[in-house]
Structure 1
Amino acid sequence: MFNLFGKKEASADSVGDCQRKKDWAGLAKAYYRMGVEAMEQDRLNEANLWLHRADTIYSAVDEIYEKVGEGITEDCSERIGELEDEALLYNDVPAEVEERSEALRYAKVRIWGLLSLARLVKLGERLSSLPGCGVFGKLDWAVDTAFRCLQGPPSQEEFNGLRDLCGALYELGDDPIFWGMGSEISVPGGAPFQVFDLNGLYGVHLEIDAYLDGILQMVCALSQDEEPPSPETGIITGALLPDYYVRTGAGNLEEVPQIKAELERIWRDYEFVSGDITWEMIEDRIAEYKKLDVLAHI
């Protein structure tokens, strides 16, 4: 482990300068320096935030990767690997979700994930107003379509629509629109939310993609009388949005009111899907969650 930049200070100013110049390699290096500084000062949530941002940028385009250089990319990956062993919300909550999901049938795990996805609908509607982010405006439709898929085969149009949405979400993660422009929406009573704040927990956009792709794989398997693959669980923690709170100055994530409220919803949903439920009960819960603003000041 080493510090390639000695005592050189990294700041939001250098990030903003690189964004204005569209210097993407410089932006990745700036985030890397911020991550190294945070890690050396034992501010591990911040280190996780900035190092993952650097990794996302230099992994998006080969040319950026080459300009950043292997010295930085290898050190960044090593540091991220070390952080994965730390007792952080970023690690602990997904691990607990994965453990609890093992006690559920596949169908119930998918319902658990769908409930979390429904809580991202309102945020998605707002993000869809940003340049190049219209894909997030389709989450409402995606939730309804996935819900129907859990009950029976979708139409060809619905299947194709989900497939196209998956592709668009995956491609967005490699686009400067996602990680380079600093695009943001206002949050009443709080700091603006950046679309890049979705980068945490392995990328909320990618977890939505993985969840919906899993629905499509389930549909294909059932149509051939085969056992569906095991469901993805990453989306279940998707509405926690820890990167936003770390970036805007939160210390202990577990004490952030919005995160505490979302954790309560996650575990409450687990109890819900563990019991005897009907499609009508699930539909009512989804409708309630679609109206929820997960960023609302508490």
Structure 2
Amino acid sequence: MFGLFGKKETPSPEERLADLQRKGDWAGLAKAYYELGVGAMDKGDLNRAQLWLHRADTIYSADDDVYDKVGEKLTDDCSDRIGILEEKEELLYNAVPAQIEEKADGLEDPQVRVWGLLSAARLVKLGERLAKLPGCEVLGQLAWAVDMMFKSFQTPPAQEEYQRLMDVCNALYELNGKAAYYTGEVEVPGGAPLQLFDLNGMMGTEQELNGYIDGHLRLIAALSQGAEELPIAESGAVGCALLPDYYVRTGSAKPEEAPRFKAELDRIWSDYDFVRSGLTWEAVGERLSKYKELDIFG
């Protein structure tokens, strides 16, 4: 009699994650991601370990209450594991940024800045779709931000423009930690939905954009003050449109061979050749205009 209804089935990892997301149980979600990361790491699946452990770290790092609930034992072990993964030079998440940084070292400051801006422009269309998610409206302002920064390479911006760009910069930083960041998604033609959390890969797309814009604001301020030393351009934003988490999460055996990933990587190296070929603002403007119309997940 007691076996009439059979055993209750154990929910799949996907079902468990979806249930925690629906409940808004961020501490539980962080623990679940951590467990998935540990399991992947123990199996030698380092890309998935990177994906899940970084998601856990992002969640508990964004909220002190969540951090306290998951406990230091988990957070310490998660951090240690992430540290180990950061030493794996062959790992996709490390290899591509290292290649970009190496190439950027041979460029002049304006070339590095333009290289990053070109990548940011390729997020405009995707940003417009993601901006429809609650609390993500800032992603719909990327077109304006790209145009403003491009223009300000040539002409000092008005104070109102500078302040608006600062507001965009701050809003991008604050995007991480919102409920939509953990739960929102948009459809991808011919593929699995893109989760907003897929922006979390590498150093975080929205954080790299924040860093790029912050660096640009500091450049404008330094130029306006006649500073002798200008802030050094950083290359982190160059890879901001790669979104490796999407390909790892959706099961690509070799994410670097996924067609969309390869296409974006090809654009990055093409842009590298472009910025080395002798920049003109007219040519940069034309390239930016083309990229702003490109939906990398369309």
Common topology (TM > 0.5): yes
Q: Which runs of 5+ in 2 are unaligned?
A: 1-9
For 1:109 and 1:117, how far apart are their aligned partners in 2?
A: 13
Q: Which runs of 5+ in 1 are unaligned?
A: 1-7
| 1:262-283 CA distance string (max 9 Å, x none) | 1111011011101112100000
Listed as ranges, the matches of 1:1-298 within 5 Å are 11-86=13-88, 87-179=90-182, 182-226=183-227, 227-296=229-298
SS of the aligned residue for 2:153 comes to helix
For 2:178 and 2:230, how far apart are their aligned partners in 1?
A: 32
Q: What is the CA distance between 1:256 and its match in structure 2?
A: 0.7
Q: What is the CA distance between 1:234 and its match in structure 2?
A: 1.1
For 1:175 and 1:104, how far apart are their aligned partners in 2?
A: 36
For 2:161 and 2:211, how far apart are their aligned partners in 1?
A: 17
Q: Is the 8 A contact 2:133 2:180 kept in 1?
A: no
Q: What is the CA distance between 1:254 and its match in structure 2?
A: 1.6
For 1:254 and 1:188, how far apart are their aligned partners in 2?
A: 20
Q: Is the 8 A contact 1:142 1:162 kept in 2?
A: yes
For 2:297 and 2:125, how far apart are their aligned partners in 1?
A: 10
Q: Is the 8 A contact 1:124 1:136 kept in 2?
A: yes
| 1:232-280 CA distance string (max 9 Å, x none) | 2111001111001111111112211111111111011011101112100
For 2:12 and 2:91, how far apart are their aligned partners in 1?
A: 24
SS of the aligned residue for 2:187 comes to strand
Match in the other structure for 1:5: none
Q: What is the CA distance between 1:9 and its match in structure 2?
A: 9.2
Amino acid at match of 2:101: E
For 2:266 and 2:52, how far apart are their aligned partners in 1?
A: 27
Q: Is the 8 A contact 1:217 1:229 kept in 2?
A: yes
Q: What is the CA distance between 1:19 and its match in structure 2?
A: 1.2
SS of the aligned residue for 1:192 comes to strand
Q: Is the 8 A contact 1:36 1:47 kept in 2?
A: yes
SS of the aligned residue for 2:251 comes to coil
- Could you list the structure 1 runs, at least 4 aligned residues long, displaced by more than 6 angstroms after superposition: none
